[in-house]
Structure 1
């Protein structure tokens, strides 16, 4: 499923986080998912693939990211003194750069929760940005609770005509048939 619909999973990841997923990040998402055998995770389903790809992505640097203008992440980053936002390569995105010497910000998705409330499954994933200063536990500087809508990914698969073939090809190169 990931191999055939990776481009649509990336679309949801971009919408949820505000991060533009280029080839470098896309490759890392796939490699990390494969490395930890994310498909074996008990709560991984066809419905939550985009969020599970994000969940199994190891902490990644914010430096060099392209972030959607007006997103919660962009607003947070624009208020930091150690961050300089410049024009991104992609329309509607800004590039995260360092304001002075070194930018130590990383992002990660943690705390996948799945619970039944009033006979409905509620699933969430927590996305956060933290300072990578080797002090544990890491202090969260910015966080978003991403609500996993079990109908969103299948609905996108059903209605989407336009596809990003390069992402599908990348997934087929990296991911074995499972």
Structure 2
């Protein structure tokens, strides 16, 4: 997980908001628990998006989603009781209950050239679970098609160490999560 900070950088850019480290931790934890690394469509070049794809359906309440984005406009228009703070954080206005959750779904690969070049994408969806616990009944408030850009991720990986700005807190978090999922060995019990 030596690239986790870069994975999160890519996902925050693609999602359009700087989701929290706790949100990132839940994605990585579910990646391990669901064994997303065994998915035949997952590989090093699409790792950021695969971690999101295998991530949980997660509440966006309290997340800093911006102040003037398509997502914010959809929430303000469709969700009574929602307000956005001046800092861009999604909060209650005190008048009602809402339960908005984000999920990534519909991973697709399409061949785009005779040489076998692939284009990959997935859908980021925000749904309103205020009146139901069932995804099939929760209305979608916002959808965004995310086209994978493996070259962008690869450029980040190959950034010279003296130019790279690494997020040590995210790297430490990734080590802790990975350690939790590391298989234990039952060698000699001396």
| CA deviations over 1:31-87 (Å, ceiling 9, x no partner) | 111110111111101111111111011111121111134333233223334210013
Q: CA deviation at 1:139?
A: 2.9
Give the aligned length.
171
Q: Which residue matches 2:153?
A: 153
Return 5+ residue gaps in structure 2 as ranges.
184-190
The one of 21, 39, 46 aligned to 2:19: 21
Normalised to the residue count of structure 1, the TM-score between the two structures is: 0.87
Does 2:119 match 1:122?
Answer: yes
Normalised to the residue count of structure 2, the TM-score between the two structures is: 0.82
Structure with the larger RCO, 1 or 2 (CA within 8 Å, 6+ apart): 1
Runs of 4+ in 1 over 4 A off after TM superposition: none
Q: Is the 8 A contact 1:17 1:73 kept in 2?
A: no
The one of 59, 79, 91 aligned to 1:61: 59
Return 5+ residue gaps in structure 1 as ranges.
89-93
Q: Secondary structure at the match of 2:103?
A: strand
Change in Cα spacing, 1:28 to 1:136, as seen in structure 2 (3 Å) is: closer
Structure with bigger strand share is 1
Q: Secondary structure at the match of 1:70?
A: coil
**In structure 1, C-alpha distance between the alignment counterparts of 2:4 and 2:19, rounded to whole Å:** 11
**In structure 1, C-alpha distance between the alignment counterparts of 2:135 and 2:49, rounded to whole Å:** 25
Q: Which residue matches 2:107?
A: 112
Root-mean-square deviation (CA), in Å?
A: 1.9
Q: Which residue matches 1:50?
A: 48
The one of 16, 33, 36 aligned to 1:35: 33
Q: CA deviation at 1:149?
A: 1.4
Q: Secondary structure at the match of 2:18?
A: coil
